[in-house]
Amino acid sequence: MNKILYLPCLALLLIGIAVTAQDDPNPNSPSPVLVAGSESDRILLRGNASAYRQEPGRELRVLYPPANEWVTANIRNIQPLESEGANSIRIFVKQRSGKTFELDVRELKRLSKDEFAITFRVFDRSGFRGQPVADGDSLIYMTWRGNASNMLKIGLGSTGGIEIPKLLEPAGIRSSDPEYAGYHFAGDRIRFAEQAAFGPSPMLDMRLRRVGLRTWLAEQFDAPYPTFAYPDPPQSPTNPPSDCSLATFPTCYRERYTMIPLQKWFFTEALYGEAQLRHRTAWSLSQIWVTSGLTVQQSSHAIAYHKVLSRNAFGNYRQLMYDMTLNPAMGHYLDMVRSTRTNPNENYPREILQLFSIGLYMLNPDGTLRLDQNGQPIPTYDQATVNEFTKVFTGWTYCNITCQNSSPGIVNYKDPMILNPTNHDLSAKTLLQYPGAPNPVIPACTNCTDPEQIRNYAEQSLNMALDNIFNHPNLGPFIGKLMIQHMVTSDPSPAYVQRVGAVFNGETGSPRGDMKSLLRAILLDPEARGNAKTDPRYGKLREPVQLITSLARIFPAVDFNGENRSDGALASYANLMGQNPFNSPTVFNYYSPDYNVPGTSILAPEFELLNTNTSTRRTNFLHTLIFDGLTPNATDSLRGTSLTFSEFMPLAEADPTGTLLLDGLNARMMHGRMSLAQRDIVLQAVAAVPSSNPMLRIKTAVYLIAVSSAYQIQR
Partner 1 sequence: MTISRRRFLAHAGAGLTMAGLVSGSHPFGIMSALAQTSDGGEPSDYRALVCIYFNGGNDGNNTIVPLHSDQSVSGYDHYFQARGPRGLALSQKSLLPIAVPRIGGSAYGLHPALGTVANGINPGLHPLWGTGKMAIVSGVGPLIMPITRAQYQSDPSVRPRNLFSHTDQTQQHHNSRADAVMLSGWGGRIADKITTVSNPNRLVPTVSSIVGPRLFTVGENEQPLSLGPAPTPLSSIFSLTGYNGTPIANARLAALEAQILLEKGQDLVEASNDIQSEALRISRTLNSANEVTAVFPATNLGNQLKQIARMIKARSALGVRRQIFYCSLDGFDTHNGQLLGQNALLTQFSQASRAFYEEMVVQGIEDKVTQFTLTDFNRTFDPAGTGANVGSDHGWANHQFVIGGAVTAADFFGINSSNGTPFPTLVNNGPDDADSGTGARGRWIPTASVEQYAATLARWFGQSEADMPFVFPNIGNFPVTDLGFMAAS
Residue 221 CB, nearest approach to partner 1 (Å): 31
Residue 354 CB, nearest approach to partner 1 (Å): 6
Does residue 613 interact with partner 1 by CB under 8 A? Answer: yes
Binding to partner 1 (CB under 8 A) within 164-183 occurs at 165, 168-169
Does residue 708 interact with partner 1 by CB under 8 A? Answer: yes
Beta strands in 273-332 (DSSP E): none
Cα 644-645-649 angle, rounded to 5 deg:
145
What residues form DSSP beta bridges with 93?
101, 140
Q: Which of 68, 238, 239, 343 binds partner 1 (CB under 8 A)?
A: 343
Does residue 508 interact with partner 1 by CB under 8 A? Answer: no
Does residue 444 interact with partner 1 by CB under 8 A? Answer: no
75 vs 53: CA distance, rounded Å: 24
Q: Is 39 helix (H, G, I), strand (E, B) or coil?
A: coil
244 phi/psi in degrees, rounded to 5: -145, 40
Of 29-37, 277-285, 300-308, 607-615, which segment contacts partner 1 by CB under 8 A?
A: 607-615
302 vs 287: CA distance, rounded Å: 13
Q: Toward partner 1, which CB reaches closer, 208 or 609?
A: 609
Q: Toward partner 1, which CB reaches closer, 79 or 709?
A: 709
Does residue 378 interact with partner 1 by CB under 8 A? Answer: no
Q: What is the DSSP letter of 266?
A: H
Q: Is 546 helix (H, G, I), strand (E, B) or coil?
A: helix
Does residue 713 interact with partner 1 by CB under 8 A? Answer: yes
Binding to partner 1 (CB under 8 A) within 84-103 occurs at 100
Binding to partner 1 (CB under 8 A) within 534-553 occurs at 536-541
**Whose CA is closest to 182, among 49, 307, 14?**
14
Does residue 632 interact with partner 1 by CB under 8 A? Answer: no
Each residue 103-132 as x (binds partner 1 by CB under 8 A) or -, in order, gives -----------------------x-xx---
Q: Which of 108, 140, 208, 707 binds partner 1 (CB under 8 A)?
A: 707
Residue 347 CB, nearest approach to partner 1 (Å): 5
Q: Which amino acid is at 664?
A: G
Q: Which of 28, 119, 614, 659 binds partner 1 (CB under 8 A)?
A: 614
Residue 349 CB, nearest approach to partner 1 (Å): 10
Does residue 149 interact with partner 1 by CB under 8 A? Answer: no
Residue 256 CB, nearest approach to partner 1 (Å): 23
471 vs 441: CA distance, rounded Å: 14
Does residue 239 interact with partner 1 by CB under 8 A? Answer: no
Contacts of 283 (CB under 8 A, 6+ apart): 266, 270, 486, 545
Binding to partner 1 (CB under 8 A) within 476-495 occurs at 490
Percentages helix, strand, coil for the chain, rounded to the nearest 5? 40, 15, 45
* Helices 451-470 + 317-325 axis angle, to 10: 140
Does residue 619 interact with partner 1 by CB under 8 A? Answer: yes
Q: Which of 495, 547, 604, 661 binds partner 1 (CB under 8 A)?
A: 604
Q: Which of 368, 600, 659, 691 binds partner 1 (CB under 8 A)?
A: 600
Beta strands in 508-656 (DSSP E): 540-541, 557-558, 642-643
Are 447 and 425 within 8 A, CB to CB?
no
407 vs 247: CA distance, rounded Å: 25
524 vs 500: CA distance, rounded Å: 10
Does residue 602 interact with partner 1 by CB under 8 A? Answer: yes
Q: Which of 39, 55, 69, 346 binds partner 1 (CB under 8 A)?
A: 346
Are 463 and 322 within 8 A, CB to CB?
yes
Each residue 52-91 as x (binds partner 1 by CB under 8 A) or -, in order, gives ----------------------------------------
Does residue 631 interact with partner 1 by CB under 8 A? Answer: no
Q: How far from 12 is each of 176, 193, 203, 212, 691, CA to CA, in Å? A: 18, 20, 11, 16, 32
Does residue 615 interact with partner 1 by CB under 8 A? Answer: yes
Are 182 and 13 within 8 A, CB to CB?
yes
99 vs 603: CA distance, rounded Å: 14
Does residue 599 interact with partner 1 by CB under 8 A? Answer: yes
Does residue 370 interact with partner 1 by CB under 8 A? Answer: no
Contacts of 598 (CB under 8 A, 6+ apart): none
Residue 681 CB, nearest approach to partner 1 (Å): 5
Does residue 620 interact with partner 1 by CB under 8 A? Answer: yes
Does residue 657 interact with partner 1 by CB under 8 A? Answer: no
Q: SS3 letters for 586-602?
A: CCCCCCCCCCECCCCCC
Residue 389 CB, nearest approach to partner 1 (Å): 13
Q: Which of 347, 400, 575, 659 binds partner 1 (CB under 8 A)?
A: 347
Cα 697-700-705 angle, rounded to 5 deg:
125
Q: Toward partner 1, which CB reaches closer, 154 or 270?
A: 154
Residue 176 CB, nearest approach to partner 1 (Å): 23
Binding to partner 1 (CB under 8 A) within 667-706 occurs at 675, 677-678, 681-682, 684-685, 687-689, 696, 700, 703-704
The site for partner 1, by CB under 8 A, has a size of: 82
Are 523 and 488 within 8 A, CB to CB?
yes
Q: Toward partner 1, which CB reaches closer, 179 or 372?
A: 372
Q: Which of 137, 188, 194, 335 binds partner 1 (CB under 8 A)?
A: 335
